[in-house]
Amino acid sequence: MTSSSDAAATSAASASVLDLAPVVPVVVVENVADAVPLARALVAGGLPAIEVTLRTPAALDAIKAIAAEVPDAVVGAGTVINPANVADSVAAGARFLVSPGWTDTLLDAMKESGVPFLPGVSTTSEVVALLERGVQEMKFFPAEAAGGTAYLKSLAGPLPQARFCPTGGVSPANAPGYLALKNVGCVGGSWMLPADGIAAKDWDRVEALAREAASLR
């Protein structure tokens, strides 16, 4: 018999990463012990897709812990920049991959991984090149520095098939502007993960901030 939790997890796994929630938390885990309670707080607040960046030695173990102990989370790996990162992340249990940019080698590895991925773009030529390779869902990074909502809006006319997750400089103040664009599925950000709150292990605060983020759309 399938539980409601299992059914929800299956439904989440089959959906596009861009459609799971309006915001994908971008998480930097310094202490593996924080990974599970942090993920539970984010999920309870309505943000099931969690990007754990490969910026710390604890990242892969954090992904493993979340994958094993938080079944309602859809945990992914961010800052994926080479094929080794792809292999290690999938082996750890990552259910999606996010890169700040892409090369042919990295794109091939992500395609072969068997999990959804969001390669990073910041120019029209990069978007066109990915569309040529059959990729329609992308990360727009660094969003604010690369032109923000005005840039993405200008892409919607000639390249309507491309959908984006803008990340980089996205905040509660400008997130609604991004989310109002027809070619934006979600945004990525870390404002619901305040450093002092993580240090204090104030998971109730993280949950409350996640709930506010989840209500942006």
What residues are labeled active site? Answer: 51, 139
The DSSP output letter for 17 is G
Specify the DSSP element, H or E, that contains 163: strand 163-166
Contacts of 15 (CB under 8 A, 6+ apart): none
Give the torsion through C-alpha atoms of 5, 112, 187, 18, to 10 deg. Answer: -50
3-state SS class at 66: helix
3-state SS class at 133: coil
Residue with the two structure tokens 């992340």: 89
Under 8 Å between Cβ of 110 and 90: no
